[in-house]
Amino acid sequence: MENGKNEEMELSKKELKALERERKKALKEQRRRERESRKQEKRQARDEEVLEGMTEEWVSQEEILEELGFAAEGEPEWEEASEKKILQVEDNIVLETTAQPQPAEGEEAKERMGEAEGEREPEEEKVGWFARLKAGLAKSRTSWINPLSRAMASRRFDADFWEEVEEILIGADVGVEMTQILLERLRDRIASENIKEPERAMEAFAEELAGALRSEERDLRFNPKGTCVFLMVGVNGTGKTTTIAKLAHMLKNEGKKVILAAADTFRAAGIEQLEIWGERVGVHTVKHRQGADAAAVAFDAIQSAKARGMDVVIVDTAGRLHTKVNLMEELKKIKRVAEREAPVTESLLVIDATTGQNGLVQAKLFQEAIDITGVVLTKLDGTARGGIVVAIQHELGIPIKLIGVGEGLEDLHLFDPEEFSRALFAPGV
């Protein structure tokens, strides 16, 4: 009898514990829903602010066809590329509005751009970029330039010193072959110039590094007679889409008329993401539906650009693993179709600097597929191994044309070897 009571009490305790667990779980869920509700209200408030003042300008399908010279009937279906623009995507909430018109030319457009961008003078812009570059290379400076400086401070320049420097450079992803070349050049400089001071030795090394990065094909190439195409390629996660936006922003500020082609029809939300950036930068985006033929998107974008007198079509492509043969073949097709309509003056490979030596593997295989004309090295601010800049240019013979050191639209810039070297070796952050 007593055992029966004990069992009932034990069972009652278990039930109470179970009920208490359920109560806590329900309370936790209620609090979670309340937090989500508050977040939703905040997002809606922000969205309403964004939508206020937006101008609406609808471009019909017939107007686009007429502008491109297509007949109203009997021609392939034209996807409305400028009909709706995705303005903002936050936590799966998509707001749609219409495309902003391409800024008008002349003094009025310059005034509007000045209000948006602050109208910085060229010299101010140069100084601002150098400060950002210097700050962006802080990790690389800490990981291999500072140890190199300490090694040179010993003033011994003996076998142990050269072995230590070799380890530092290889650890920074400079590459074994390029490390040996740089060391040989530095030995010759120290011997021929009788260098004994650590500061002078560091200056000599910085000069040799800049020399190793020089290339005659560093500048971006355009078509002086009309529209040209920049083909952007790379694997997912390298920052390719944001790099396209930064590049469009940079070219637009230089007076170029730019249009984007959303040819990444493979990745979910890839088209929408590019449209968002296009809106922020103020450039038009040509799109088809997800899963459409990427080469057809490029074709339509080039036709639109030629009809409107645009200077550059920047074509986004699906981020593909360099080991996927079928996707690489699609990339070749996009380039073939584009070349029939306008010169492809740049095929730029976007590489994430944080991937280190794996970036070399990517570059080699993409180079085999479409003849890469230059590399855009992103996320240099996120790596302690900035030596990959040297390895890519030396081992592949592909010039570094652009580098990125941050998330802002101004954080992409033409690569300047001397400037890069000065920023890397500059004291402090």
Question: Beta-carbon neighbour count of residue 48 at 10 Å?
Answer: 10
Mean pLDDT of the chain: 76
The reported pTM is 0.68
Q: How confident is the model at residue 8 (pLDDT cuts 50, 70, 90)?
A: low
92-101, 177-186, 232-241: the lowest-pLDDT one: 92-101
DSSP state of 228: E
86-100, 159-173, 312-326: the lowest-pLDDT one: 86-100
Percent of the chain surpassing pLDDT 90: 32
What is d(CA 169, CA 160) in angstroms, rounded to the nearest whole number? 14
Using alpha carbons only, give the angle 115, 45, 49 rounded to the nearest 5 degrees.
25
What is d(CA 55, CA 53) in angstroms, rounded to the nearest whole number? 6
| 43-85 tens-digit pLDDT | 555 545 434 433 333 333 444 334 444 443 333 333 333 333 3
Q: Does residue 91 come out as left (phi exceeding 0), alpha (psi in the -120 to 50 range) or beta?
A: left
What SS3 class is residue 411?
coil
Percent of the chain surpassing pLDDT 70: 70
Return the pLDDT at 52: 43
Residue 81 structure tokens? 């590329």
Task: Quote the strand ranges of 189-295, DSSP E.
Answer: 228-233, 258-263, 284-286
Question: Beta-carbon neighbour count of residue 144 at 10 Å?
Answer: 24
Return the pLDDT at 387: 78
DSSP state of 371: -
Over residues 237-259, mean pLDDT: 94
| 363-402 tens-digit pLDDT | 888 888 888 999 999 888 877 677 788 888 888 888 999 9
226-235, 239-248, 260-269: the lowest-pLDDT one: 260-269
The burial class, CB within 10 Å (0-12 / 13-18 / 19+), for 24 is: exposed
Q: How confident is the model at residue 35 (pLDDT cuts 50, 70, 90)?
A: low
